[in-house]
Amino acid sequence: MNDSVIISLPDWVEPELNKHPEVFPTLEDRMKLVISFSKMNIDNKTGGPFAAGVFETKTGKLVAVGVNRVVPLGCSTAHAEIVALSFAQKKLGVYDLGEPGLPDHQLVVNWCPCVMCYGAILWSGITSLVIAGSSPEMENITGFDEGPMHPDWVNELEKRGISLIDNLLKEEACKVFNYFAEKGELVYNARSNRT
């Protein structure tokens, strides 16, 4: 069998991060970083138009970023949220970002997570989720399927101690999806060829 599965970030990520401060005080600062990374992932042809960042909620210190890596890595679970959460857990040496003694952590994403990433968020230990939007726009623009979310998904987050902030810089996020769609790029849409 194979020895291991390796999830890596594109080479441009680290130099790009070096252009920024380590701390992103406002939610807008955090979302702007994430949206800019979603666009750079398109321009560098290193994955789909999605990016995410894990921050310390209170201070805004960046812990880890992730971008969609499905096609380049040949790994259908390498969505931006899972990449960001996994790098954050690796960096801190924990499987639970909500472990006692750690500061609260927040995940910032340039759109509502798909059902897989929704579940990943539940088990990650973050206590705050910030998204640019959750309406049908993204699916309509890109053709991506978010999967069957629980009808009461927001309350189900809250039941598990995760608060949601929605509709932050929605227009800016949609601009990137439109940019992606205009290029005629494909968002991998599992099983669409079979249904």
The one among 4, 19, 26, 182 contacting a copy of itself by CB under 8 A: 4
Using CB under 8 A as the binding rule, the residues of this chain from 73 to 102 that contact a copy of itself are 73-77, 82-83, 85-87, 89-91, 93-96, 98, 100
Q: Is 195 in the site for a copy of itself (CB under 8 A)?
A: yes
- Closest among 171, 192, 181, 168 to 48, alpha carbons compared: 181
CA atoms of 171 and 75, how far apart (whole Å): 29
Q: Is 19 in the site for a copy of itself (CB under 8 A)?
A: no
Dihedral sign (CA 96, 108, 146, 71): negative
Using CB under 8 A as the binding rule, the residues of this chain from 25 to 54 that contact a copy of itself are none
Alpha carbon distances (Å) from 193 to 170, 188, 189, 190? 30, 11, 9, 8
Q: Is 15 in the site for a copy of itself (CB under 8 A)?
A: no
In total, the chain counts a number of residues equal to: 195
Residue 101 CA, distance from chain mean position: 25
Closer CB to a copy of itself, 94 or 164, in the complex: 94
> What's the CA angle centered on 86, arms 83 and 91, to 5 degrees?
120
CB of 48 to a copy of itself, least distance (A): 11
Which distant-in-sequence residues (6+ apart) come within 8 Å of 112 by Cβ?
131, 133, 134, 138, 146, 166
Using CB under 8 A as the binding rule, the residues of this chain from 118 to 137 that contact a copy of itself are 118-120, 122-125, 127
Q: Is 58 in the site for a copy of itself (CB under 8 A)?
A: no
Binding residues for a copy of itself, per CB under 8 A?
Answer: 1-9, 13-14, 17, 64-65, 70-71, 73-77, 82-83, 85-87, 89-91, 93-96, 98, 100, 114-120, 122-125, 127, 145, 147-153, 156, 159-162, 188, 190-191, 193-195
